[in-house]
Amino acid sequence: MSTVVDERLRRLRSELDDHSRIADRLGLDLERPLRSLNDGYPENTVALVGKLTEKLLKELWRHHSVEGDPSTKALNDLVKRCRPYIRSSTVLDALDDIRRLRNRSTHDGYDISEEDGLLAVRRLVDVLVWFTDTGSAALLGEEPHVAPEVARRCEFLAGLYVTLGYRQAKRFVLSPDTVYQLFCRESGMRLEYVELMLSRDADDLGTVLASDGGELLRTRLPKLTRFVVLDHNSSGAGAASDALHRLLDLDFRIVRFDGFVDTIVNLDDHLAPLAPVTNPGEPRTAVAVATLSTDSRTGEPQVVESGDAVELLAHLARGSVNVLVTGRPGSGKSTLLRALAADPGIRRFRFYFDLSLKPKEELFSEYVARLLAPAMTPSDRSRAYELFLYLIRSGTALCVLDAVDEGVKESSPAGFLQLFTDLAAVLSAESAVIMSSRVSFLADSPPVRQLLDNGAGRSEQLVEQMYANGLDPARVPHFHVVRLTEPEATPLEKRLAAALELPPGQTLADILGAHVTRTLAERGRSDLERRLPGVFGQAFVAGRTVFSLLDLLRELGADAFVDGHVNLETCVLAPMLRRAKADRVAFVHSAYQELLAARYLADPANRNASADIAGGAFLTEQVRAFLAEIADSAQTDDCVLPAGAYLVGPAERLLIRRVENPVRFDRHAVTVARYRRFLDALEPDGTSRWDHSDQPGYVTHRPPDDRLRWPDYYENSRYDSHPAVCVSWWSAYAFARFEGKRLPTALEWEAAARGADGRLFPWGDSPDSACVNCADSWTGKPIVTYQAWYREFAGDAGSRAGVTSVTERLDNRSPFGVLDMVGNCWEWTSTTLAKPDEAVICGGSYDNPMRAVQTSSKGVYRKNGASNAVGFRCVQDIDENTGAAEETTT
Average pLDDT (200-218) is: 72
Q: Count other C-beta atoms under 10 Å from residue 237's C-beta.
A: 18
Quick: pLDDT tens for 97-139. 999 998 887 765 678 888 999 999 999 999 999 999 999 999 9
Q: How many Å apart are CA 624 and CA 595, to the nearest integer?
A: 9
The pLDDT assigned to 214 comes to 59
| Higher pLDDT among residues 256 and 785, named by residue | 256
Nearest to 621 by CA among 411, 884, 833: 411
Identify whether the C-beta of residue 481 lies closer than 8 Å to the C-beta of residue 313: no
pLDDT at 280 exceeding the cut of 50: no
CA angle 857, 863, 865 (to 5 degrees): 90
Q: How confident is the model at residue 656 (pLDDT cuts 50, 70, 90)?
A: very high
Percent of the chain past pLDDT 90, that is, above it, reads 51
Average pLDDT (358-376) is: 91
Nearest to 193 by CA among 216, 219, 172: 219
Q: How confident is the model at residue 861 (pLDDT cuts 50, 70, 90)?
A: very high
The pLDDT assigned to 278 comes to 46
Nearest to 209 by CA among 263, 154, 254, 257: 254
Q: Count other C-beta atoms under 10 Å from residue 793's C-beta.
A: 23
Q: Is 531 helix (H, G, I), strand (E, B) or coil?
A: helix
pLDDT at 208 exceeding the cut of 50: yes
- Residues paired with 483 in a beta bridge: 290, 326
Q: How confident is the model at residue 275 (pLDDT cuts 50, 70, 90)?
A: low
Q: How many Å apart are CA 645 and CA 659, to the nearest integer?
A: 6
Average pLDDT (567-575) is: 92
Q: Count other C-beta atoms under 10 Å from residue 702's C-beta.
A: 14
Nearest to 9 by CA among 133, 115, 101, 128: 115
Average pLDDT (792-821) is: 90
In 355-452 the beta strands, taken as DSSP E runs, fall at 397-402, 432-438
Percent of the chain past pLDDT 70, that is, above it, reads 85
Average pLDDT (322-327) is: 84
Distances (CA, A) of 802 to 500, 667, 777, 848, 850: 51, 21, 11, 11, 15
Q: How confident is the model at residue 821 (pLDDT cuts 50, 70, 90)?
A: very high
Q: How many Å apart are CA 194 and CA 307, to the nearest integer?
A: 48
480-484 β-sheet, strand order: 301-308, 288-294, 480-484, 322-327, 432-438, 397-402, 349-354
Q: How confident is the model at residue 882 (pLDDT cuts 50, 70, 90)?
A: low
Average pLDDT (671-681) is: 96
Q: How confident is the model at residue 313 (pLDDT cuts 50, 70, 90)?
A: confident
Q: What's the chain's average pLDDT? A: 85
Quick: pLDDT tens for 249-268. 556 788 888 889 999 999 99
Q: How many helices (H) and strands (E) does the chain have?
A: 34, 25
Specify the range with the lowest mean pLDDT, choosing from 397-411, 499-513, 685-699: 397-411
Identify whether the C-beta of residue 374 lies closer than 8 Å to the C-beta of residue 325: no
Nearest to 869 by CA among 682, 727, 745: 727
In 55-158 the beta strands, taken as DSSP E runs, fall at none
Identify whether the C-beta of residue 438 lies closer than 8 Å to the C-beta of residue 329: yes
Q: Which amino acid is at 205?
A: L
pLDDT at 835 exceeding the cut of 60: yes
Quick: pLDDT tens for 437-471. 876 555 555 556 666 655 555 666 666 666 666 66
Long-range contacts of 466-469 (CB under 8 A, 24+ apart): 466/417, 469/414, 469/417, 469/418, 469/420, 469/421
| Higher pLDDT among residues 548 and 110, named by residue | 548
Q: Which amino acid is at 259?
A: G
27: alpha, beta or left, given left = phi > 0 and alpha = psi -120 to 50? left
Specify the range with the lowest mean pLDDT, choosing from 60-64, 174-178, 628-632, 718-722: 628-632
Average pLDDT (875-885) is: 76
| Higher pLDDT among residues 786 and 165, named by residue | 165
Q: Map out the domains of the chain with their CATH numbers.
A: 3-136 (1.20.120), 148-263 (3.30.420), 269-457 (3.40.50), 491-630 (no CATH), 641-884 (3.90.1580.10)
CA 699 to chain centre: 46
Average pLDDT (420-432) is: 82
Quick: pLDDT tens for 725-742. 999 999 999 999 999 999
User: 677: buried, middle or exposed (CB in 10 Å: 19+, 13-18, 0-12)?
Assistant: exposed
Specify the range with the lowest mean pLDDT, choosing from 291-295, 343-347, 795-799: 291-295
pLDDT at 429 exceeding the cut of 80: no
Please tell me what DSSP assigns to residue 797: I
Nearest to 404 by CA among 539, 267, 590: 590
CA pseudo-torsion sign 854, 855, 859, 865: positive
User: 102: buried, middle or exposed (CB in 10 Å: 19+, 13-18, 0-12)?
Assistant: buried
Distances (CA, A) of 452 to 289, 641, 878: 19, 39, 47
Q: How many Å apart are CA 629 and CA 626, to the nearest integer?
A: 5
Q: How many Å apart are CA 867 and CA 457, to the nearest integer?
A: 27
The pLDDT assigned to 232 comes to 60
Q: Which amino acid is at 153?
A: R
- Residues paired with 630 in a beta bridge: none
pLDDT at 888 exceeding the cut of 50: no
In 253-396 the beta strands, taken as DSSP E runs, fall at 253-256, 288-294, 301-308, 322-327, 349-354
Q: How many Å apart are CA 554 and CA 862, to the nearest integer?
A: 55
The pLDDT assigned to 297 comes to 46
End-to-end CA distance of the chain: 71
Count of CA atoms in the C-beta half-sphere (13 A) of 150 = 26
| Higher pLDDT among residues 442 and 29, named by residue | 29
Q: At what angle do helices 202-210 and 237-248 cross, to 10 degrees?
A: 20
Q: How many Å apart are CA 208 and CA 217, to the nearest integer?
A: 12
Q: How confident is the model at residue 755 (pLDDT cuts 50, 70, 90)?
A: very high
883: alpha, beta or left, given left = phi > 0 and alpha = psi -120 to 50? left
Distances (CA, A) of 182 to 73, 168, 318, 547, 776: 38, 6, 33, 46, 70
Q: Count other C-beta atoms under 10 Å from residue 233's C-beta.
A: 11
Residues 6+ away with beta carbon under 8 Å from 320: 395, 430, 431, 432
Q: How many Å apart are CA 637 and CA 885, to the nearest integer?
A: 16
